[in-house]
Amino acid sequence: MKAKGILLGAKQPNYFDEGVPAEFATPSGKIEFYSLQLAEHGFDAVPKFTAPIEPPPGSFRLLFGRAPVHSFSRTHTNRVLMDMMNENELWLNADVASNLGLKSGDRVKLKNQDGVVSNSIKVKATERIRTDCVYMVHGFGHTAKGMKFARGRGAGDSQLITKYAIDP
């Protein structure tokens, strides 16, 4: 990297040479905002935004993501990494938390639309999330007896996701 300053991919460069027309993997070889290929397969030629179904009143949309400490749940048996982050937290809007009588550090259980209940998880009241959503780091909430250091720590998003829609 010091010698060349850039590492090129094996298949395609990440830039276009000066003066050389750009080509794309489309029938026209150009960027296509209207796709005949989509239209031929019964889809909108110009995809339209479809709003997601709103959750019922009193419910939250569950968001999940990663933490820089762990690689999914594969590192939850590593004592050093578990010392840095040994369970996930549930991010909840501070105003919503206050209205529910909750504060950071309180423990709650989550229940999804199908009645599945999570392990307990600590609340993190924060302004950094919308009022209609909750967030947790993925990979926690293990129930397997062999996961000695990770078992019963935090809640698992994957157990709560029992209903989802697939974009065609």
Q: CATH number, domain at 130?
A: 2.40.40.20
Query: What is the number of domains present in the chain?
Result: 2
Between CA 101 and CA 91 the distance in angstroms is: 15
Q: Assign 37 to helix, strand or coil.
A: helix
Question: Percent of the chain having pLDDT more than 70?
Answer: 92
Q: Residue 135: beta bridge partners?
A: 63, 91
101 and 22 belong to one structural domain: no
Query: What pLDDT is attached to residue 33?
Result: 87
For 96, the domain range is 61-160
C-alpha separations of 24 from 21, 28, 94, 133 in Å:
10, 8, 47, 38
Domain assignment present for residue 28? The answer is: yes
| Amino acid 64: pLDDT | 94
In a domain, 42, yes or no: yes
Q: Identify whether residues 21 and 96 lie together within a single domain.
A: no
Residues in the chain predicted with pLDDT less than 50, given as ranges, are: none
Looking at residue 8, what is its pLDDT? 60
pLDDT of residue 120: 95
* CA-to-CA dists, residue 116 to 49, 109, 113, 138, 162, angstroms: 31, 10, 8, 17, 8
| Same-domain check for residues 33 and 114 | no
Residues 97, 148 within the same domain? yes
Question: Running DSSP on this structure, what letter comes out for residue 135?
Answer: E
pLDDT computed for residue 146 by the predictor: 82
Residue 25: inside a domain: yes
Q: Does residue 80 share a domain with residue 44?
A: no
For residues 71 and 22, membership in a common domain is answered with no
